Amino acid sequence: MDAAIEVENLVTAFGSNVIHDGLNLTVKRGEILGVVGGSGTGKSVLLKHIIGLLKERSGRILVNGRDRSTMSVREDMESRRDWGVLFQDGALFSSLSVAQNVQVPLREHFNMSQSLMDDLACSKLTMAGLPLDAAKKFPSDLSGGMRKRAALARSLALDPEILFLDEPTAGLDPIGASAFDQMIKELRDSLGLTVFLVTHDLDTLVTVCDRVAVLGDKKILINAPLKEVMEFDHPWVQQYFKGPRARAAGMEV
């Protein structure tokens, strides 16, 4: 299985504060990779580096075999069609309707008729499990779970190969979170997506992730199937994966 994402010797720093120091990570094509780590270890920062929102101090990032640092502006713009992003809290534009939010990437990358964009927006909303009458609503009219689904629909607008999800189930009730997890797995299976998923949710790790990458000590401590990660000899890993919350999530100890 070839790599969809390769991070090589990444160094990230904000001033004198070093977040990542020689970080290496490979995400296999077609897998759902869960990225976990303690607060401040740079999980969301890593995601933002991969998608080009932050510039690394040193190192190399390849997405679909293409080195982001050597791309022209045009190549970078074209490469962005290959992925979709669901940011924390959805990050929907409050002044736009749900359909208009989904259409933002379409307007950015293509010159389409309004009727075609309307049809595509409805298709993506259905794919994300929303009723069609949600299209004309505004984010403030939606529940937290529906806003997450609307943001997911927007991330799917360009038929991406890679999906980046930043804490997708945060703030959802257990039933809503479980339904969202199941939907992600079904979308991966039906669309052949590669999913890079930052999460704190132990249930998500158990339910949908093929492998788990643990951030700690400014590096990836381990990137392996969950059972292997649970046996990794590191204090934070053992506390996280074998503590009371892990037992409540049904993890073997």
pLDDT tens track for 26-52: 999 999 999 999 988 999 999 999 998
Q: Per the structure block, which two tokens stand in for 206?
A: 């158990």
Domain co-membership, 101 together with 211: no
Q: Which of 118, 137, 160 is the C-terminal boundary of a domain?
A: 160
Q: Is 90 exceeded by the pLDDT of residue 226?
A: yes
Domain co-membership, 166 together with 220: yes
The reply to whether 182 falls in a domain is yes
Domain co-membership, 244 together with 169: yes
Residue range 69-89: mean pLDDT, rounded: 84
Residue 245: pLDDT band (50, 70, 90) is: low
Residue range 72-77: mean pLDDT, rounded: 81
The reply to whether 16 falls in a domain is yes
Question: How many folded domains does the chain comprise?
Answer: 2
Q: What is the CATH number of the domain that holds 20?
A: 3.40.50.300
Residue 251: pLDDT band (50, 70, 90) is: low
Domain span at 111: 88-160
The reply to whether 216 falls in a domain is yes
Q: Is 70 exceeded by the pLDDT of residue 242?
A: yes
The reply to whether 192 falls in a domain is yes
Residue 73: pLDDT band (50, 70, 90) is: confident
CA distance 166 to 129: 19
Q: Per the structure block, which two tokens stand in for 88?
A: 């924390």
Cβ burial of 219 (10 Å; 0-12, 13-18, 19+) is: middle
Q: Which of 160, 183, 204 is the C-terminal boundary of a domain?
A: 160
Q: Is 50 exceeded by the pLDDT of residue 253?
A: no
pLDDT tens for 83-124 read: 999 988 778 999 999 999 999 999 988 888 999 999 999 999
Q: Is 60 exceeded by the pLDDT of residue 22?
A: yes
SS3 state at 34: strand
pLDDT tens for 124-177 read: 999 999 999 999 999 999 888 889 999 999 999 999 999 999 999 888 888 888
Domain co-membership, 170 together with 46: yes
In this prediction, residue 113 carries a pLDDT of 93
Domain co-membership, 59 together with 7: yes
Domain co-membership, 48 together with 93: no
CA distance 191 to 165: 16
Domain co-membership, 17 together with 142: no
Q: Give strand ranges (E) for the chain.
A: 3-14, 17-28, 32-37, 58-63, 66-67, 83-86, 162-166, 194-198, 211-216, 219-224
The reply to whether 76 falls in a domain is no
Domain co-membership, 166 together with 55: yes
User: Considering only CA atoms, which of 65, 33, 160 is closest in space to residue 105?
Assistant: 160
Domain co-membership, 202 together with 142: no
Q: What is the pTM of this model?
A: 0.91
Q: Is 80 exceeded by the pLDDT of residue 248?
A: no
The reply to whether 149 falls in a domain is yes
The reply to whether 147 falls in a domain is yes
SS3 state at 72: coil
pLDDT tens for 165-185 read: 999 988 888 888 899 999 999
